[in-house]
Structures are given as C-alpha cells and as structure tokens.
Structure 1
Amino acid sequence: NAELLASASEAGVVDLSWLRSDTTVVPADIKYPTDSGLLTKGVSQIARLIARIKAASIAPRSAFDDPTPSARQAAHRIGFKLRRRSDDAKAEVLAITGELADLAETTLEQARRVLANANRVVDRPVRRLRRMLADLHHLIEAVGQLVAQTRLRLAGETPPAKTRRVSLHDDDARPIRKGSLATPTQFGYTGQVTDNRDGIILDYEIEPGMPPDAPRLAPAVERIITAIGRVPDAVTADRGYGQASVDAELEALGVKTVAILRKGQPGAARRSVEAGDDFVELIKWRTGAEGRIAALKRQHGWGRARIRNLEGARVWCGWGILSLNAIKIAAICS
C-alpha cells in the first residue's frame, strides 16, 4: 500500500488539500462471548487436544477425566434457566456458572499434569507433537484467564476491558463500546482511517481495545507528510478529536486549517472560529467519512477481521485498504 501511494504521489494524483479522520470498530471473527460459553468451549477443546496427545502415545498414563459432557449439560441448563427471565433464574444461572468454573479449574489441574508429563517424554523433533503441546499450553493459559474473569463476575465485579479475554484463540480482541444503538458493545479492534477528497485512504491504524481518538490524529498526519512529502492544507475530524492540544499539534506540523468541533460549550471566540465558511464547509465534508468506512466494511473486508490476533487484523485490514486505494487511484488515472 505504501508503494502504491508513493507511485500515485509521483504521478501527481494524490490530493492533499483536505484530509479527514474517523475511527470505527473492526470486529474480530468470534461469536458473542459469554462466561459459560467460553468455559464450555475451552474445557471441551482441552479434552479433544489431550485425546490426540494420548493417541500419539504421549503421557498415556496421565489421568484425565473428559469434562465435555458435564460442561455441555451445564451450558444447556443455563440456556433453559435464561428462558424464564426471572430473578430466581438469574441466581440459578450464576450458581451453574460457578459450577462450570469449578469444573474448569479441575480440568486445568489435570491438563497441567498431562502437559508436564508430555514435555518430559517428548524429545523427538516431531513438529506435529510439539505444535499440539504448544496449543495445549495456550489453551491452559486462556481458560485460566477465563476462570479468573468468571470468579470476578460471580463476586459482583467487572473484569477490566483492557485485559478482558473474549476469545479462546484471538488473544488481542477486546470489548469496545462506541455508542451504537444496534450494537452498543462489539468485540475486536479499533481502526482509524484518514482519507482525502478523492476517497484515497492515506493512512490507517488498527489498535486493540478502545484507545482515545485525540492522541492518534497528529501522528497519522505526520506519517502522511513523511510518505507523500507534502503538508495537507486542512484537516478535519469529529468531536472525539476536539482538543486544543490536537489543533496545536497539527498547526506545528504546518497544517493551515484545522476544523474540529470542541467538546463542551464553546466560548465566544471559539464560536466565531466555528462559524467561519471554511470551517463549516470542512465539517460538512467530514460527515462523509462514515460513508467511506461503510464502504470499507461492506466491500473491502473491514466488516470482520478474518485473521486472528492484532497482527492478523492489521494484515487483513491492510489488504482491504490496498484494494480500495487501487480502485480509486485507477479511476483517477483513467
């Protein structure tokens, strides 16, 4: 994508008169996470993996009781109780979830013994066996974290969003609240997109969780200046970026016009600035960023990151940016 933008810049088709930035959630490729669902899936996967390890004659005498039937039965009981939608049902669900956490802890103790015994006997450089043991170690760590989260919830506390695990296999996905009425909480990553008047995306960034918007804008513009070799005339963004420090950082980079509405009630001097013709025109144009993001989600893969973990999401989203930019630049050149 950097090479494509460099070639387009050399050809003189990259417009830097106006830039706009906005953020969105890039959902991870996971189902809606619940404590009971993740625990059930976790212990079941541990059981299947240990069965494969034992089938390879590794740690065959290590005791392990398959928890899958008990875990699935508990999950079905939770589903049945939730259909009642009463206060008693909620209390019963919490009790069953506690049983699942106990079952998971027992499973983890046995799985750790199996893993320790397997590591002692596996001295053969067989990639498949070592991969299975690495997968088992990862599952033990993941389920252990899920048990700790469940214990917090049962104690009436909320696990911190920055470290909360929402998937067994996507370690970096996090819960994100962006104020959407349809989906108030999503699970994945936060993406920032900066494009120009032609719809060419000049910078993008994928980060875990929900970092604040304001500190991300000036670095994005600085990366664009470095890549293209020119300073944009004007930059606009939504109110989430609205801080005096952001304006100062952009002006220090050489941006002539910064059109970002401030949070809170503006004073008389600020109202005068926001009433200017250029400011108003830029703010109106900024609303189109939502359409650009919608196109990314609908046509270029940003609706769901199909590769796991943060680096995978960055690769997946990068291909989406490349495909969109290739279409836009080809249309301009033709």
Structure 2
Amino acid sequence: MSQSWDEINQMTQEVVDITQSVLQQAESVLKKLQQTKKPLVEAQKEKLQSLVNKTKQLIDQAKQVIDGNRMIPDRLISIHDPETRPIKKGKLTKKVEFGYKVRIDETESGFVTGYAVYTGNPSDDDLLIPAVQHHQEVFGSVPHAVATDRGFSSRNNEQMMREELGIHRVSTPFRGKKSK
C-alpha cells in the first residue's frame, strides 16, 4: 500500500509543479492588468484573482496530502463551487458523492411539504426535529406519523417526537446492518 501512496504522491507533486507554473503566469497577467481601470477589465481581473486564490489553496492542500495529511477539514473540493462538500451516502455503488445535502419532507401520498438545502454535510439525525417543527409551523400541528430512513435514527429524536411533540406513530429504523 505504501508503494501506491508513493506513486500517488509523485503524480500529485507533478500536478503541483505544473499548476504552480500556470499560477505564476496568471499572477503575471494580474500585474499587467493592474494598470488598466476599464470596467470590463476590472470584472475579469476580479475573476482571475479569485481563481488564483483558490488555486493557491488547492496547491496547499495537495502539498498537505503529499506530506501524509489525508484528512483536510473544510478543504476546497470544487474551484467553481467552493461550497460543495463530499457527502458519504452509504451506497454500495458510490461511497462518496459531491454537492449539497437536501432534505425533502413529503406526505405519504408524495406531496412535498418542505425542503431545505444544507451547506456542508450535517448529520441526518440533527435535521429531523427541525423538519417536524417546520411541518408544525406550516400546518399548525405535528404530523400524525413520521417515517424516515436509518440516517435520522436516534434515541433523542424518537423520544422528543413521542414525548415532547406528541407524535404516536414514529418509524425510524436503527442504524447499522440490516438483520436477517
């Protein structure tokens, strides 16, 4: 396995070297544009400066990976959408997807009653009670029943829905592998 990491580190270093060369060229262009004050040029200058800043961040991240740091919190995943995050989905075919987490609330007949788009990758179990409270705000009462997937399961959620919110039918399967 260490040989594989050595190969990855070598390739990553090659990408860093090429990227640093391109970065120097972009910074040279920015210096030349400093003398121009035309509105169209100003807008392009801002875009280029933003890309230069993000590229520097990516180079720094790549160097951290080469140095052995494989877990970089809040790392830049996309130069074009800096807020996108890696999201572990627990699917067999896709271990990680990239983007935003979306919560969709719906009735048993499929009518969408609420939704939320989250930056980052908040835990599903932190999203359930706010979803139920949103339902209560919109409809003036809590739902008669709540059914979720196992990501929303927690003792705290189940207790709060039953005891504090008065929902009698709660189906939040336990986390972990399915039993036979």
TM-score (norm 2): 0.82
1:261 aligns with 2:157: no
Encode CA deviations 1:144-184: one digit per residue, 9 max, x unaligned.
Answer: 12111211221122143x51222221111122221211111
Q: Which has the larger radius of gyration?
A: 1
1:201 equivalent to 2:116? Answer: no
Deviations 1:92-114 (A, max 9, x none): 55324213213323433443353
The partner residue of 2:151 within 240, 246, 257 is: 240
Distance 1:260 1:103, change over 3 A: same
C-alpha contact (below 8 Å) 2:61/2:75 kept by paired residues: yes
Residue 100 of structure 1 pairs with residue 15 of structure 2: yes
CA deviation vs aligned residue, 1:22-66 (integer Å, no higher than 9, x gap): xxxxxxxxxxxxxxxxxxxxxxxxxxxxxxxxxxxxxxxxxxxxx
* Number of aligned residue pairs: 175
Greater helix content: 1
8 Å CA contact 2:85, 2:120 repeated in 1: yes
In the alignment, is the contact (CA less than 8 A) between 1:177 and 1:186 conserved in 2? yes
**Equivalent runs, 1:286-297 vs 2, <5 Å:** none
Long gaps (5+) in structure 1: 1-85, 265-334
Q: Is 1:231 aligned to 2:146, yes or no?
A: no
User: How much has 1:143 moved relative to structure 2?
Assistant: 1.0
Instruction: Work out the CA distance in 1 between the residues paired with 2:7 and 2:172.
Output: 50
1:164/1:175 contact within 8 Å kept: no
Shift of 1:222: 1.0
> In percent, how many aligned pairs have the same letter?
28
The equivalent of 1:140 in structure 2 is: 52
**Residues in 1 aligned to 2:144 and 2:105: alpha-carbon distance in whole angstroms:** 14
Which whole-Å CA distance do the structure 1 matches of 2:168 and 2:12 have between them?
A: 57
Instruction: Tell me the SS of whatever aligns to 2:127.
Output: helix
Q: 1:234–1:132: structure 2 CA closer, same or farther, 3 Å change rule?
A: same
RMSD after superposition: 2.5
Normalized against structure 1, the TM-score is what?
0.47
Q: Which has the higher contact order (CA 8 A, sep 6+)?
A: 1
Asked if the contact 1:149–1:159 (Cα under 8 Å) also holds between the matched residues in 2, the reply is no
SS of residue in 2 equivalent to 1:194: strand
- Distance in 1 of aligned mates of 2:63 and 2:114: 41
Runs of 4+ in 1 over 6 A off after TM superposition: 86-90
